[in-house]
Amino acid sequence: MIPGSFDYHRPRTIDEAVGLLADHAGDAFILAGGHSLIPMMKLRMATPEHLIDIQDITELSGITVGGDTIEIGAAVTQTQLVASEELASACPILRETSLQIADPQIRNVGTLGGNVANGDPGNDMPAIMQLLDAEYVLRGNGGVRQVKAREFYEAAYFTARDEGEILTSVQIPVPAAGHGYSYQKQKRKIGDYATAAAGVILSVTGGSCTSASIALTNVADTPLWAEAASNALIGSDLGPGAVNAAVDAARAITDPASDGRGPSEYRTHVAGIMVKRAIETAHARAA
């Protein structure tokens, strides 16, 4: 299907883009890579009167790895995330996740900001941002504010971002040195959304788990940070009892729809398998 008619804008600064959003309040959509928005426009699920293309805004394109914080511009593509050796050294789960998103053609254009900002529960990066306790930097006419990823998602395609705001960057605490990590994703075919997926990051000292975080993709109408499942690992030796407790706690918060990927019960079952595999892989990788 062909999208409806719209006016096209290509600002060169964040302020110009924010001004356009204010001028066309409620009638304008932000376009980055376009891999989520354009299909929705073709299906007339999204009918913007104004399309604001942010590809020329250089302020949105940087990756900075500091001592305590990683900051990634919203327009950084998945391919750029994969290519950054500094980022992969500091937070390798980002590369591992990016490589499981769609295919190389889409990763060349699809952006981190687009993946996390539109509220699609099938996107992979929102759960990873919750896992890492990331914060989203939003800019609007009222100034700049930051929202934790764990508080950003309200329902499918509904988020804490106001219509007049642009997500400009993502700030991530640098994980502890020697941490273990894993993103496990079961899907019907390469490039597909997950039937269920799970991310884990943890640290181990003296054989005991000292920190852990677990998050789930596409098993509810928002990404899920599994706090109880995470806590089930902390203080344990990551043996079968602790892993099974974490799996049970993670499954308990899922509520997937029955769809072409399988019935709800099957997808919940798969989510538990992904959590178990992710914990075991992260444990094996922890220094």
Query: CATH code at 35?
Result: 3.30.43.10
Range list of H helices, the chain = 14-23, 37-42, 78-83, 85-90, 92-98, 104-107, 112-117, 125-131, 149-152, 227-233, 240-252, 264-285
Report strand pairing: 143-148 vs 153-155: unpaired
- 191 and 127, same structural domain? no
281 C-beta neighbours (distance < 10 Å), count: 17
| pLDDT score recorded for residue 46 | 82
| pLDDT score recorded for residue 179 | 98
Coil, strand, or helix at residue 282?
helix
- 94 and 148, same structural domain? yes
- 264 and 240, same structural domain? yes
Coil, strand, or helix at residue 210?
strand
Tell me, yes or no, whether 2 lies in a domain: no
| pLDDT score recorded for residue 105 | 92
**How far is it, in rounded angstroms, from Cα 155 to Cα 29?**
19
- 20 and 68, same structural domain? no
**How far is it, in rounded angstroms, from Cα 81 to Cα 183?**
15
- 234 and 254, same structural domain? yes
Q: For position 223, which CATH number holds?
A: 3.30.390.50
**How far is it, in rounded angstroms, from Cα 140 to Cα 135?**
16
Last residue of a domain, one of 113, 142, 173: 173
- 194 and 128, same structural domain? no
Last residue of a domain, one of 173, 198, 228: 173
Q: Is the dihedral of CA 9, 15, 21, 22 positive or negative?
A: negative
Number of domains the chain is built from: 3
| pLDDT score recorded for residue 37 | 81
Tell me, yes or no, whether 1 lies in a domain: no
Range list of H helices, 61-162 = 78-83, 85-90, 92-98, 104-107, 112-117, 125-131, 149-152
Tell me, yes or no, whether 206 lies in a domain: yes
- 144 and 169, same structural domain? yes
Q: For position 86, which CATH number holds?
A: 3.30.465.10
The C-alpha R_g of the chain, in whole angstroms, comes to 19
- 17 and 83, same structural domain? no
Tell me, yes or no, whether 159 lies in a domain: yes
**How far is it, in rounded angstroms, from Cα 146 to Cα 137?**
5
| pLDDT score recorded for residue 230 | 98
- 100 and 46, same structural domain? no
| pLDDT score recorded for residue 207 | 96
Q: Give Cβ neighbours of residue 177 (< 8 Å, ≥ 6 apart).
A: 287
User: Can you give the residue range of the structural domain that contains 96?
Assistant: 59-173
Residue pair 185/274 in contact (Cβ under 8 Å)? The answer is: yes
Output the tens digit of pLDDT for each of the chain's 287 residues.
688 899 999 999 999 999 999 999 889 989 888 777 877 788 787 888 999 999 999 999 999 999 999 999 999 999 999 999 999 999 999 999 999 999 999 999 999 999 999 999 999 999 999 999 999 999 999 999 999 999 999 999 999 999 999 999 999 999 999 999 999 999 999 889 999 999 999 999 999 999 999 999 999 999 999 999 999 999 999 999 999 999 999 999 999 999 999 999 999 999 999 999 999 999 999 98
